Every structure is written in C-alpha cells, then in structure tokens.
Structure 1
Amino acid sequence: MSNISTDRDLLPPKSDLEANHTVPVEIVVSSELTTDEWRDRIFLERQVERAFYAAAKALKELRDRRLYRSTHATFEDYCRSRFGFTHRHVNYLIAGSLVVDNLMGTNGSQIGNSDEMGTIGSQIENRDKTGTNGSQIENPDETGTNGSQIENRDKTGTIGSQILPTSERQVRPLVPLEPEQQRLAWQQAVELAGGKIPSGRIVQDIVDKIRERTKVPNPYHLGEICTLLPKDNPELKGKSGCWGVITHVGDYSCTLETWDAQYTVKIEHLKSLELLDNDCQFMQQLCARLRRLHEIENRDSAVDWLCLGLGKQLKPYLSPLQEKLLADVEQEYGLH
C-alpha cells in the first residue's frame, strides 16, 4: 500500500455519521473526495508551493478535476484561501505554463521524466533519488544556470536541453502571441541575453518589436460599448457576453470596465455593439449604477443576481420592470 501523509489537517474529516455510529438508510453521492482524490490534492497543493511551471500545472489539474470542491465552493475562493493567490495571478500562471509547453513542443505532461507513468497524479509515490516527491522537472546545474534547463526525453530516448523560463513574468509578454511567434520571440530573447535566461523586460522588448512589425490599428475608442470574447484568455472564463465601457485604448489592447471588474484585453477579445452616441451614454450610466451597487459591502446576493443579468443584456434600454427593480434596490441601499 502507498504511503499517505499523516498530517491530521490534510486528511479528509470524518463525517457526522461516522462520529455518531449511525447507519444511513440511503447513501447519497456528495461532494466529499475519495482517499485517492485527497492524496492527489495533497500532492498537487505541494506542487503549487514549488516552482512556477509545476505550480501552474498543478493548479490547472486542481481546477479541471475540481479537487477543491469538498472545502470550497469555487476555485477562486480555494486559491485565495489555500495559497493566497488572486484569480488573476492563477490565470497568469496557467497561461504561462501553456507557453512553456509550446516552447518545449510538448503538452507538458512529462518533463525530464524517463518513465511512462503518465499524469502527475499517478506519480505521487514516485520519489526520485534526490528526495523530491513525484517531481517531473529535472534541473541539472552543469551549465551554471539556476533551473534554466528542463530536460525532455523524446521517444527515441535522446535528451535535448534548452534554455526555458523559470518565472511566469518571463513568459507573460508571450501569451498574446501565436505559438510560432512565441517560439521565435523566446529564441531572440535568449540570444539577446547572451544565451542565458532573459528577463521579462527583454522578452517584452522583443515582443513589442514583433508586434510593431505586424501592427493593426486599434479600432476602438473611449466610451465605446463592447462585449467580452473569452477565446483563449483564461482570465475571461465565464465572462462571455458581458458588456462594458472602454476606459483606455492602447496600441494592442483596451481596458473594459464592466459592472463588477476591469479587464485589460487584446482587441481580438472585444466586440463592439456599434451603438449610437446617445445609446453609449445610456450604457455608460447604467454601468456606473451597477458598479455602485457592486461596491456595497454585505449586500444581498440578489443584488449580484440583478447586476449579472443586466450586465449581459445587450440592449441600450431597460424595460419598465427592470428600471423599477433597479431603482428599488438603489433606494434600499440609499443610492437615490
């Protein structure tokens, strides 16, 4: 039998039924984790507390398998409570790991791992000779670089080494680029850094030069009403169809203010509602009203329900009932 952590706070708590020694009449499937799932969760949590790439891959698996569900309602709450990570930071990590996968030309399932055990979760009890628990990343220091080389065994058994990122900030500028452009930009950044790991600033400079050569004029303007298109941006997950007001226009991106947050996104993640000026002004005022409600502390959950509904309504007007509901809620919280 595999060894399982004995830390009391890491083991699943006993249910009330076990404590009272009663026999249930009917067994109902709940959100409790199985022993194997708890073991996987413990392992993945420890990966998050380690290197950037391992942390990102572990977070992605924790999210995709919903291994947080026994203790937290949402993945965002779980990351904030367990690791002190904001929603945006987690999205940056996961997006950065996908860039590293592309740079390696792999799906990231095995890095520097000569066995064929498969996914991270199946390697929990596979301790290597250095004492690391299930680590899939080998960082030989023969060249003097600190974790700059990740060994990747191909199917023929040969080993190829290359300079790869060790920090999420080093790859953040690469995220908006196409896969081929990511590889080209990283190679140029490594060369510019003298064959060493380039800083995020160097990578950003290379990316700026690439995008300048293929610059597309930003079609949006201040005050315009647009909807969000999540596409491949993990930060926009669940925001499809949400509208907002353009508050900043950059060369390649815009800042969109919605009822509950601000998002700085690439222009390809936006779609204009193509409204007339008067309609834009109405939507701007409506957004301001919804944001004031969202900023109220200890507000009733029905407030968010109302704001969410109006925050996805793409018509530049409210029905009489919608206006009455909104006005009543504003009056309830003294906003009139």
Structure 2
Amino acid sequence: MNKPTSKRNKATSAASSDSTPSDDQDLEEISQEEDPGSATITVSAVEVPELTEQEQRDRLHLERKVERAFFEAGRALAELRDRRLYRSTHKTFEEYCKDRFGYSRRQPYFLMEAAVIFQNLEQKCDRNDHILPTNEWQIRPLSKLDPDIQPEAWEQAVESANGKVPSHRIVKDVVQRIMDRTKVLNTYQIGEVCQIIVKDNPELRGKGGCWAIVSAVNEFSCTVRVWDGEYTIGLQRLKSFNYLPQECQQMQSLSDRITQVYSDSLEETVKNLLQLLGKVNRPYLTALEEKLLTLLESEYGRIP
C-alpha cells in the first residue's frame, strides 16, 4: 500500500533536482547580472551616401527659395497695395492685411521695406560670399541707413558673425556704430514744416516733394504728418522749408483740413487732388485751390 506513495516522492524529487541550477550555473548568471557592460552589442554601420551634383544644385536652389521667402512676400504686398487689389473687400490696405494674413498694422510695411533692402544687398554685396538675410527681422535695423551704406553695414555684420547669417542684434550693433560715426544732431522741432525726399523707401512712394508737419522728434528721425497719415522718416530724407512760426501754423491748419477729407475709399481723382495740395511748396493756397478744398469739404461732409 505504501509503494505508490514512495514512487511519487521519487518522481517529485527527480523533477526538483532537474529544475534547480547547479552552483556553477548560479555563479555564471550572477556574474552576468553584476557586469552588464561585458555583454557584446553588435551595431551595423549605415553608409550615408554623398550628395550628387544634381542634389547639391537642388539643395542650393531650395535654400535660396527659403531665404527669399520674405523678399517675395514683400514684393507681393507692394503690388497688392499699389494696384489696390484689396478694394473689392476692404476699404484700407491695413484692414485687408489683418483679415487676410493676420498682420499687425506695421508688419506689411516692414516686409515691403525689407524687400527693398534685400534687393539692394543682393545687387551690391560681394557675390562670392552668398550670405544674404533669411528673414525681415535680421535686416530691420538697416532701414535707418541710406541705401548706399546698407551693403557696407551688412558685410560688417556678416564678418562679425564669422561668415554666417548675422542675427538682428549683430546687425543692430553695426548700424549703431555707423550712425554714431556719422551722427547728425536732430534740430527739427514739433510743428516744423519739412519737405520729404524719397530715397528707395516703399512706404514713401508717391510722397516725394510733399510737405509734412513734424509731430515727434526722435534721435535719428522725425515722425511727420502728411495728407494720408503719419510716417517716421530718417533725417536724411527730410528738408526744412524754414517757414516762420505763423506760416507753420497755417500749414498745420491746412494739414488738418486735408486729413479730415481724406480716406482710402475716395475716388482716385479726389485723392490725386488732395495729393497735389499736399505738394504745394508755399505756406498758403491760391484762391482756386481754396475753393476746390472747400468744395471737397462740403461734398464729403467733413466741415465741422
């Protein structure tokens, strides 16, 4: 009766003996756990093929497209503005840019001015360097300089950046050094009447020869009022009429009247007439000019 039990015990004992590792096996496993760095890892080498000549040309072509993106945007915005292609949906260019592109009021003008600067650098900088700006922010400080000096400033900034595209800060520092070197004291006064001299500035297109009233005096520029708004203009683009205080007051009154009549939705003929009044090089209107302005004030309901 006890023999079957004895056999089962033996079987259990045998199974236990087979599943228990030997002392040598225990030491081997422990050794491997304690020294995982001894394990061998095989890494297959991946060969990276060199670019072919065609791929190198394609890369350069695509890089140039990326670099010129803001330039193309600025040119496109200028054409949209100049041809008034926004007029079917918006009264002003600024409203159109805000609704269509999400731009702030100043952003389209920054891009348009940057496009002019980029083209200037592209034409006048050393072609062997091929270092051109890649965004508007990098070259915004150059807008304070005359176009003839901008290439010099950009090349100095590239040199400061060790031959790479310079940052906004580097360009700003270079521009500041140049302006300190050629610093001109700003002697304009608020209320003074100046003439605008256009020099490759997209914001001032159509403003050449116009008179403007100084509304703020800055270190290297003045903020001035013309018939269609306010602009900040460098000192090199302004020339004083040297009017007497009374004559400046007369021009201030004329500026206020034109501003009250002007809006971007006016007919082109009316806007052209107001623009002509904004270019008179004397501190008064003739009898005919006075009648025309009074008629426009009456027609468009701007008389207080």
The TM-score normalised by the length of structure 2 is 0.61
Residues 256-267 of structure 1: matches in 2 within 5 Å?
Answer: 256-267=224-235
- Return the match for 1:203 from 167, 171, 191: 171
For the pair shown, the structure with the greater C-alpha radius of gyration is 2
1:180 to 1:95, Cα distance in 2 relative to 1, 3 A? closer
1:9-39 CA-to-partner distances (Å, cap 9, x unmatched) read: xxxxxxxxxxxxxxxxxxxxxxxxxxxxxxx
Matched AA of 2:112: N
2:251 aligned with 1:283: yes
Aligned residues: 231
Residue of structure 1 equivalent to 2:194: 226
2:112 aligned with 1:91: yes
Residue of structure 2 equivalent to 1:105: 126
How far apart are the structure 2 equivalents of 1:334 and 1:271? 31
Residue of structure 2 equivalent to 1:326: 293
Matched AA of 2:291: K
Structure with bigger RCO (C-alpha 8 Å, 6+ apart): 2
The TM-score normalised by the length of structure 1 is 0.56
How far apart are the structure 2 equivalents of 1:258 and 1:274? 17
| Contact in 2 for aligned 1:252/1:266 (Cα 8 Å) | yes
How far apart are the structure 2 equivalents of 1:178 and 1:301? 32
Question: 265-274 or 162-171: which moved more?
Answer: 162-171
Matched AA of 2:292: L
Matched AA of 2:281: L
- Return the match for 1:312 from 279, 285, 289: 279
How far apart are the structure 2 equivalents of 1:299 and 1:184? 43
Shift of 1:183: 4.8
Residue of structure 2 equivalent to 1:35: none
2:118 aligned with 1:171: no
User: Any runs of at least 4 consecutive aligned residues in structure 1 with deviations exceeding 4 A, and if so which?
Assistant: 57-64, 79-87, 160-163, 178-181, 190-196, 297-302
Shift of 1:299: 4.5
Residues 72-151 of structure 1: matches in 2 within 5 Å?
Answer: 88-101=109-122, 104-106=125-127
How far apart are the structure 2 equivalents of 1:167 and 1:330? 44
**Higher share in helix:** 2
